[in-house]
Amino acid sequence: MHALASRRILRLALGTSLCLAFSQAVAWQLSFIAPIITLMILSTPMPVFGLKKGLAFMLAMLLPVIIAMGMLPFLMHARWAGILMLALALFYSFHFTAKGGPAVLGTFITIGLTLVVTIGSVSPALMTTLVESLALGLMFGLCFVWIAHALLPDRQSKMAAAQPPRPKPTAVDPQTALRGALKALLVVLPLALVFLFISGSTSYTAVMIKVSSMGQQATTEDSRKMGRSLLFSTFWGGVGAIAIWYLLSIWPSLLLYCLAVALIGLIFGRRIFVGKSLAADAGNWSYAYLTMIVIIAPSVLDGFGSDGATSAFWFRIGLFVAIAVYGSVAVAVFDAFWPERKKEGTAPPADHSAATNTA
């Protein structure tokens, strides 16, 4: 294995498990957001943030959440106008990613929007708790990214020699970006509306995080691949969560919990980082790791060992499977009404240059 990939795999497992241990110990509301932030950043080959860039990153992620709070009066008193505003805001977050914007930022914008409508519309009094929890999750998630980089720093000289020069970003076709954003909107908006109209929807916070990541997943992959990826990530994330759940039934210990999460991080990490960069299916495995955290962390916080926690754990897994199946069906329906068209000039087999440009 390449030394750079080994270091990134160890950093992913170490940073995520340490952040999970901390968030589990403090047990504030929505504390599982912190390890999700750490996981999302460490599962990419981006360099570590400095303090200034870290603060800018936090502000960029929290600002859309605070702006989204302006939709609450419309959702409560002029619901259809609020739903239209929500649809436009979600479309912007997906279009931002489809045009080549950072997937981490786009995902968190979507998470903020969906949490605002599912929690804020039920009880505006919970909005302060939500914003505080998101801010704490961001702050401590970034702190553990820094801790992981401090414990396993990059060897700058070797990295400079190992990494090829970064290619210039290619412009995304506007039609392709529009199609990807509309496809993601079709996947996420109906689910957001379902949870909006369900009373007591605050219990589905973890599910909405999975739905948000699923929408961002739809902007970067073709429909068939996206459908398989949804089922793939949900299956392996569920397998990891079930394995940890039964391990904890043998020995309910925070140490065992974090070691198991780190072990699965090592296993999944080998399929995320390959050589000097990411594997071809790295997104599938990083989404699987995220799915596992989103399933297991809230269930453990519910109070491990109780009948309520066990039933909530299995219900959450069943709900994730149903959502993955729905997402696969939704993109198939989208393809039926809006089939993907190849660019002109790619059809003739002899024209290899056009095919290369399209790729």
Report CA dihedral (61, 67, 73, 76) to the nearest 10 degrees.
-20
Q: Would you say 9 and 266 are in contact if contact means Cβ atoms under 8 Å apart?
A: yes
**Concatenated DSSP letters of 111-132:** HHHHHIIIIITT-TTHHHHHHH
Kindly state the average pLDDT of the residues 119-128.
68
Q: Quickly state the pLDDT bin for 250 (edges 50, 70, 90).
A: confident
Q: Quickly state the pLDDT bin for 179 (edges 50, 70, 90).
A: confident
3-state class of 307 per DSSP? Answer: helix
Kindly state the average pLDDT of the residues 14-21.
93
Q: Quickly state the pLDDT bin for 50 (edges 50, 70, 90).
A: confident
Kindly state the average pLDDT of the residues 9-21.
93
Provide CB contacts within 8 A for 56, sequence distance 6+: none
Check residues 153 and 103 and name the one with the higher pLDDT: 153
How many other C-beta atoms can be found within 10 angstroms of the C-beta atom of residue 168? 6
**Rounded to an integer, what distance in angstroms lies between the CA atom of residue 237 and that of residue 18?**
19
Give the CA distances from residue 140 to residues 44, 162, 238, 286, in Å, rounded to whole numbers and listed in that order: 18, 31, 26, 20
* CA neighbor of 121 nearest in space, from 83, 91, 84: 83
Kindly state the average pLDDT of the residues 62-79.
78
DSSP 27: -
**Rounded to an integer, what distance in angstroms lies between the CA atom of residue 37 and that of residue 105?**
10
pTM of the predicted model as reported, rounded to 2 decimal places: 0.77
Q: What percent of the chain has pLDDT over 90?
A: 13
**Rounded to an integer, what distance in angstroms lies between the CA atom of residue 27 and that of residue 22?**
8
Check residues 123 and 98 and name the one with the higher pLDDT: 98
Q: Quickly state the pLDDT bin for 170 (edges 50, 70, 90).
A: low
Residue 92's pLDDT is 87
Residue 122's pLDDT is 66
Residue 175 has pLDDT above 90, yes or no: no
88: exposed, middle or buried (Cβ count in 10 Å: 0-12, 13-18, 19+): exposed
pLDDT in tens, 261-296: 999 999 999 999 987 888 888 888 888 898 899 888
Residue 307 has pLDDT above 70, yes or no: no
Kindly state the average pLDDT of the residues 59-86.
80
Indicate the length of the chain as a whole number: 359
Check residues 113 and 226 and name the one with the higher pLDDT: 113
Q: Quickly state the pLDDT bin for 14 (edges 50, 70, 90).
A: very high
**Concatenated DSSP letters of 251-282:** S--HHHHHHHHHHHHHHHHHHHEETTEE-TTH
For the chain, give the mean pLDDT: 78
Place of tokens 């009373």: 199
Q: Quickly state the pLDDT bin for 148 (edges 50, 70, 90).
A: very high
Residue 99 has pLDDT above 90, yes or no: no
**Rounded to an integer, what distance in angstroms lies between the CA atom of residue 176 and that of residue 342?**
10
Report CA dihedral (280, 14, 31, 319) to the nearest 10 degrees.
40
Report CA dihedral (206, 210, 212, 218) to the nearest 10 degrees.
180
